[in-house]
């Protein structure tokens, strides 16, 4: 890596514009729940961790962080641990311990207080699961099992022969030395608190396991992820995990895996994902029963977490891989209802302003097939559940003169509402797996819809549609209509070109750009066209005759959303799995512009020109808004903070393992500054805050040798510093 390239990356990370400060819109409610845990010292305190689904380039994205409840799961609050993928939670030694996917283990005394990275000796920052007792902490990582004492938090590799992935860990307070691990090679058992392990999978045929649990009666349970043409299996052990036998077979429709298990007196509950329909399920098996009972059909891709809350009576909480959030049963699982208050981390795939006069916004949610409606610019949110038997709503369109008429592109088909979203009816049966929908203010009777089969066009307001196979076949990732000419539209085909029609889809011309995922036409200047691709943005200023591929300052990730200022086509916002980036020079240079966002995995934009506000939707981050101008235009804007001069000092140089990072200048101990380490392709490798003396010490021995960039940020300033690791 040349010094010139490294200096360019540092400059990109340190340049600070008069950037927007994003504010939460308090919804939509929900979140991609991956794990839950009840505090052992306070049975009314519950913690949940949010992750992100690895699609649309989001393998590099942040997760939704950690939320907590002090009322047994009835309402939720954001903790101060945000923008991380939380894969497991436990409590031990008076602290909350959060395992993360990519940033190791974090601990805090209070969820709203300071979180400290506890990664000394940890062999991998990718932690898949965690469990703990009063004297033992155990984590499963991509580099094997590690154990530590909660008081010292120095991780030591466990003795477990071979290499395997650890997908689940279980412990029992009444047997503090017993630990069980669900791995991709069966069950492993430790009788020494997690430091020495032996194989304990006798009787398990499907060895690719995803979940494990120990019941109060000593019985143990494990669930599999099936291979091709197999059904998932739940196994039970009556001798604390030494030998196993399969339980009653699951129903005939195949599950994609048993992701969570909750042993209960005289029964066991499991959470699964369902192949085909994409909806998760909760099942119960009573002792001695020959069949499983379906307890809840939930709007989750899969049910990833089940936990019992002792303070809530016969209360069970369920959470899953979607924007569905948390379901609660107060009668042991017979009936269920949502508990979403405060959980403003919905997974937003599409976003449209429905009515400017009333401040009504509609959001299409991912992996649950639901819509959410905000009134009075987010003063209240209403979710419409069970609206579509679909995994997600990728596109929304609004009739320009009648906001009661709405259109939705859901994964299973197209829908129309004529009463502002209160009820919906399906339109085209020939369009399934829809990816987007748009119409033109010039003639809203002409509607374009993209799908995996191609582009379908309606010329009568959605009553009839063309066959996508004969219009523009192939998987279409994005479609956009010209707001000035309804017969003009663009469509982006997957791994292929962008196409243009001037006759409402009868014929299509090929443009000289390809592999794009999002498209935009400037609403007032017809010469400007924008297309988001992998690592950059295509911009045309001559109506598509020529394009420039512009990347300077972008993080090298997919651009999944794009929008331009209606008053200035050279001001552009690009949404990536690594946050919002803004250009004020037509895309020639880009700058990180995500301050205040709860999650950086951006999926959708919307613009309200009258108030000069831009809205952004993200995965497990809900909707945020900001004023589009450097100087906000109304009295609701926050005051402009005074610049805070930031400088970083790193020692030693170069770094082998341990590095001390110091914050220099006139900054107080409660400075609110966070620091993160990035690879040169934009991936965040490590992050944290500053301790006493405005310094922190990191151990980076798990990272490969090479050049990295440190970035420190406050609400008003940024600083960056090159860091070199040698081995």
| Dist. CA 504–CA 492, nearest whole Å | 15
Write phi, then psi, for 562 (nearest 5 degrees): -155, 145
CA angle 688, 349, 496 (to 5 degrees): 105
Nearest to 640 by CA among 704, 546, 714, 715: 715
Question: Cβ contacts of residue 396 below 8 Å, gap of 6+?
Answer: 350, 351, 352, 362, 364, 406, 407, 408, 409, 437
| Dist. CA 172–CA 185, nearest whole Å | 22
Which residue did the predictor score with more confidence, 429 or 56?
429
Helix (H) or strand (E) holding 507: none
Nearest to 326 by CA among 341, 314, 310, 312: 341
The answer to whether residues 609 and 627 touch, using CB atoms and an 8 Å cutoff, is no
Q: Quote the mean pLDDT of the chain.
A: 85
The pLDDT, as a whole number, for residue 717 is: 60
Q: What is the dihedral of CA 389, 390, 392, 396, to 10 degrees?
A: -70
Helix (H) or strand (E) holding 64: none
The pLDDT, as a whole number, for residue 376 is: 87
pLDDT digit string (tens) for 323-358?
Answer: 678 989 998 888 888 898 898 888 899 999 999 888
User: Do the bridges between strand 443-451 and strand 454-458 make them parallel or antiparallel, or are there none, so unpaired?
Assistant: antiparallel
Q: How far is CA 257 from CA 131, 154, 392, 556, 630, in A?
A: 21, 33, 21, 33, 49
Which residue did the predictor score with more confidence, 174 or 240?
240
| Dist. CA 554–CA 8, nearest whole Å | 12
- pLDDT of 380 over the 90 cut: no
The pLDDT, as a whole number, for residue 55 is: 40
What DSSP character marks residue 468?
Answer: H
Given the structure tokens 């151990």, which residue do they identify?
A: 699
| Dist. CA 422–CA 384, nearest whole Å | 8
* Residue 543 falls in which region: left (phi positive, over 0), alpha (psi -120 to 50) or beta: left
Q: Which of the residue ranges 221-230, 388-397, 509-518 would you say has the lowest mean pLDDT?
A: 388-397
Nearest to 681 by CA among 710, 650, 708: 708
Residue 230: pLDDT band by 50, 70, 90 thresholds?
confident
| Dist. CA 360–CA 378, nearest whole Å | 8
Which residue did the predictor score with more confidence, 244 or 635?
244
Say what the pTM is. Answer: 0.76
Which residue did the predictor score with more confidence, 251 or 393?
393
With H, G, I as helix, E, B as strand and everything else as coil, classify residue 356. Answer: coil
Give the rounded percent of residues in the chain with a pLDDT score beyond 70.
86
The pLDDT, as a whole number, for residue 13 is: 37
- pLDDT of 104 over the 80 cut: yes
Residue 670: pLDDT band by 50, 70, 90 thresholds?
low
The pLDDT, as a whole number, for residue 276 is: 56
| Dist. CA 519–CA 529, nearest whole Å | 8
With H, G, I as helix, E, B as strand and everything else as coil, classify residue 505. Answer: coil
Spell out the alpha helix ranges (H) of 295-430. Answer: none
pLDDT digit string (tens) for 57-77?
Answer: 344 445 678 999 999 999 999
The pLDDT, as a whole number, for residue 298 is: 63
Mean pLDDT across 129-134 = 94
Tokens of 539: 């911009």
Q: How far is CA 285 from CA 246, 279, 297, 319, 333, in A?
A: 12, 20, 16, 19, 12
* Helix, strand, coil % over all residues of the chain, rounded to 5: 5, 50, 50
The pLDDT, as a whole number, for residue 295 is: 78
The pLDDT, as a whole number, for residue 253 is: 63
The most confident of 195-204, 250-259, 618-627, 705-714, by mean pLDDT = 195-204
- pLDDT of 665 over the 80 cut: no
Q: Which of the residue ranges 254-258, 503-507, 551-555, 676-680 would you say has the lowest mean pLDDT?
A: 676-680
Helix (H) or strand (E) holding 281: strand 280-286
């Amino acid at each position: 890596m040349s010094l010139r390239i490294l200096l360019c990356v540092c400059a990109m990370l340190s340049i600070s514009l008069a950037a927007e400060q994003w504010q939460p819109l308090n919804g939509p409610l929900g979140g991609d729940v991956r794990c839950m845990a009840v505090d052992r010292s306070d049975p009314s305190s519950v913690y949940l961790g949010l992750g992100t689904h690895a699609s649309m380039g989001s393998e590099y994205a942040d997760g939704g962080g950690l939320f907590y409840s002090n009322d047994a799961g009835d309402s939720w609050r954001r903790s101060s641990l945000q923008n991380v993928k939380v894969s497991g939670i436990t409590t031990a030694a008076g602290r909350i311990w959060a395992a993360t996917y990519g940033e190791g283990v974090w601990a805090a005394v209070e969820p709203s207080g300071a979180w400290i990275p506890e990664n000394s000796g940890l062999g991998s920052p990718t932690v898949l699961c965690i469990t703990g007792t009063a004297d033992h902490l155990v984590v499963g990582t991509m580099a094997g099992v590690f154990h530590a004492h909660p008081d010292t938090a120095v991780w030591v590799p466990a003795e477990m022969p071979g290499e395997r992935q650890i997908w689940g860990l279980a412990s029992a307070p009444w047997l503090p030395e017993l630990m069980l691990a669900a791995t991709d090679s069966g069950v492993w058992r430790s009788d020494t608190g997690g430091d020495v392990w032996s194989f304990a999978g006798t009787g398990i045929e499907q060895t690719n396991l995803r979940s494990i649990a120990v019941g109060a009666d000593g019985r143990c349970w494990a669930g599999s992820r099936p291979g091709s043409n197999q059904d998932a299996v739940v196994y039970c052990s009556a001798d604390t995990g030494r030998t196993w036998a399969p339980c009653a077979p699951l129903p005939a429709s195949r599950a994609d895996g048993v992701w969570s298990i909750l042993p209960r007196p005289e029964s066991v509950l499991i959470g699964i994902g369902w192949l085909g329909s994409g909806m998760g399920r909760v099942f119960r098996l009573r002792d001695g029963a020959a069949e499983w009972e379906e307890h809840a059909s939930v709007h989750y891709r899969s049910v990833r977490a089940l936990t019992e809350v002792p303070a809530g009576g016969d209360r069970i909480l369920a959470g899953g891989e979607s924007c569905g959030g948390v379901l609660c049963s107060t009668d042991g699982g017979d009936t269920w209802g949502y508990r979403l208050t405060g959980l403003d981390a919905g997974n937003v795939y599409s976003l449209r302003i429905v009515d400017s006069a009333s401040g009504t916004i509609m959001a299409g949610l991912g992996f649950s097939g639901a819509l959410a409606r905000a009134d009075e610019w987010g003063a209240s949110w209403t979710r419409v559940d069970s609206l579509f038997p679909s995994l997600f709503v990728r596109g929304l369109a609004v009739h320009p003169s009648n906001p009661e008429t709405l259109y939705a592109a859901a994964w299973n088909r197209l829908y129309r509402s004529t009463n502002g979203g209160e009820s919906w009816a399906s339109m085209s049966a020939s369009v399934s797996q829809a990816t987007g929908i748009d119409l033109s203010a010039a003639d809203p009777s002409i509607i374009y819809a993209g799908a995996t089969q191609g582009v379908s066009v309606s010329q009568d307001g959605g009553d009839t549609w063309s066959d996508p196979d004969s219009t523009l076949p192939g998987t279409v990732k994005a479609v956009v209509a010209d707001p000035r000419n309804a017969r003009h539209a663009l469509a982006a085909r997957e791994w292929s070109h962008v196409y243009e029609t001037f006759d409402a889809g009868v014929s299509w011309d090929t443009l000289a750009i390809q592999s794009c995922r999002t498209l935009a036409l400037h609403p007032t200047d017809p010469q400007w066209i924008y297309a988001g691709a992998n690592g950059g943005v295509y911009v045309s200023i001559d109506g598509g005759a020529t394009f420039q591929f512009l990347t300077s300052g972008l993080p090298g990730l997919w651009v999944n959303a794009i929008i331009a200022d209606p008053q200035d086509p050279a001001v552009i916002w690009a949404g990536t799995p690594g946050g919002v980036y803004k250009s004020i020079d037509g895309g020639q240079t880009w700058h990180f512009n995500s301050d205040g966002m709860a999650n950086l995995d951006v999926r959708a934009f919307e613009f309200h020109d009258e108030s000069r506000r831009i809205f952004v939707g993200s995965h497990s981050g809900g909707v945020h808004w900001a004023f589009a101008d450097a100087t906000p235009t109304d009295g609701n804007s926050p005051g402009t903070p005074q610049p805070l001069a930031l400088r970083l000092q790193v020692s030693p140089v170069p770094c082998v393992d341990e590095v001390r990072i110091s914050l220099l200048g006139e900054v107080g101990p409660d400075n609110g500054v966070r620091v993160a380490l990035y690879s040169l392709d934009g991936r965040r490798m490590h992050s944290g805050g500053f301790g006493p003396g405005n310094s922190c010490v990191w151990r980076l021995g798990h990272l490969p040798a090479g050049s990295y960039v440190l970035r420190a940020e406050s609400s008003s300033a940024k600083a960056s510093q090159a860091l070199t690791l040698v081995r």
